[in-house]
Amino acid sequence: MSEPDWLVEGRPHLWRPYCQMKTANPALPVVATRAARLVLDDGRELVDGIASWWTACWGYNHPHIAAAVEAQLRTMPHVMFGGLSHEPANRLATRLAKLLPGDLDHVFLAESGSVSVEIAMKMALQFHINRGVKGRTRFLAFRGGYHGDTLATMTVCDPDEGMHSLFAGAMPQQLIGDLPRDADSTAALEALVAAHAHELAAIIVEPLVQGAGGMLFHPPEVLRTLRRIADDHGLLLILDEIFTGFGRTGTMFAMEQAGIVPDVATLSKALTGGTMPLSAAVARRPVFEAFWSDDAGAALMHGPTYMAHALACAAANASLDLFEGGGWRDQVARVSAGLEAGLGPCREMKGVRDVRVLGAIGVVELERVDDLEALRRAFLAHHVWVRPLGRVVYLTPSFTISDADLAQLTGAVRAVVAGL
């Protein structure tokens, strides 16, 4: 079957993500989505195992979200947020403040997840400046961490094993440590922070799961330790819930499993149910109060052009309607059980290092992968869309995926891994 004209004509002009354009395989032409499936131009359907980079938690084309966006489009698609406001953003901020634990009450709405992390970092830097504390300009981040692709977020990603290793040595230097998983690593981290506390503004971490760094899990106790260390040294704690937020780990937010409240939380991905770009950096009351002043220079000087985008806020409010229904908990539990049952047999297969499941996240970590593109093509042969992170094969399907589609995904993983 010939390729569609739009694909042929656009190919020389589109710069695609995370690939060497000279050698990359052609992108697959998607013409429609429905439920948990991608429909290709040639009529094939692929079960989406990663929910469009973890965003489409309700599957595709959910009628409630679509109706909310259509209604908002007829009324007001967008208006600048400088000096103006609108109902979708106000309602969303109010609802997020009620959903998040503790006094995470102050919501700054932006576009992408990377931007929300940039804003959180900017908040942390200026928090200390506004309080008259000088020299706190660095961030403590962790090996295996990933927080975005913009310049500042790259500085708090894993500098050696992450996708930004090319820039190691060329970025402003932050402090990289190991997560405090046991007594020895906790003591090492405490010593590291004690030596550098005078120059640290904040600690930043992905709670429970380091996503793009390899779907690396850690227990809730790690987060409680980081909260204590931050408090001991007057540092802010930033939790990057962009991947883990909105039910993915089995609770609405991963932080709930640790029983802690960060100083700033970043949200995105599933915030709009996978329909539109939107993110939020949500601060606790003491952080916000450091900017509350008669001095105009103490304000947070940040304002993305499309911040608080009305269409995206309408989509997010509709998605929160679905969460408020409560059925997502049973859906995530069903998906989790299906992932465990379907991927569990891989533990006995040659070349498998680990199999792990948390909420609606299933991971098969391989010992090695010699040809990543061949591995990806093998999944296409089973009519599933799975994009391994190096030697980490993972599934993060929509919460509403059917049992049959989930079984097709896990069956494909078993077959492909066995074929290795």
**Binding-site residue ranges for pyridoxal 5'-phosphate:** 113-114, 240, 304-305
Catalytic residue among 48, 60, 158, 240: 240
Q: In angstroms, rounded to a whole number, what is the distance separating the alpha carbons of residues 101 and 294? A: 29
Q: CB-based burial of residue 171 (10 Å sphere; 0-12 exposed, 13-18 middle, 19+ buried)?
A: middle
Tell me how crowded residue 122 is: count the other CB atoms within 10 A of its CB.
17
Q: Is 240 a catalytic residue?
A: yes
The binding site consists of 53, 113-114, 146, 240, 269, 303-305, 387
Q: Kindly give the residue spans of alpha helices, DSSP state H, lying in 170-271.
A: 183-196, 220-232
Please answer whether residues 344 and 355 qualify as being in contact, where contact means their C-beta atoms are separated by less than 8 angstroms.
Answer: yes
Q: Kindly give the residue spans of alpha helices, DSSP state H, lying in 101-259.
A: 113-130, 151-154, 183-196, 220-232
Residue from 48, 26, 42 nearest 274 by CA: 48
Q: CB-based burial of residue 170 (10 Å sphere; 0-12 exposed, 13-18 middle, 19+ buried)?
A: exposed
Catalytic residue among 5, 18, 160, 294: 18
The binding site for substrate consists of 53, 146, 269, 303, 387
Q: In angstroms, rounded to a whole number, what is the distance separating the alpha carbons of residues 192 and 186? A: 10
Catalytic residue among 48, 60, 146, 405: 146
Catalytic residue among 48, 60, 158, 269: 269
- For the record, the structure tokens of 391 come out as 């030697």
Q: Is 306 a catalytic residue?
A: no
Q: Tell me the β-bridge partners of 30.
A: 40
Helix (H, G, I), strand (E, B) or coil at 237: strand
What is the per-residue DSSP string for 50-73? SHHHHT-TT-BS-HHHHHHHHHHH
Catalytic residue ranges: 18, 146, 240, 269
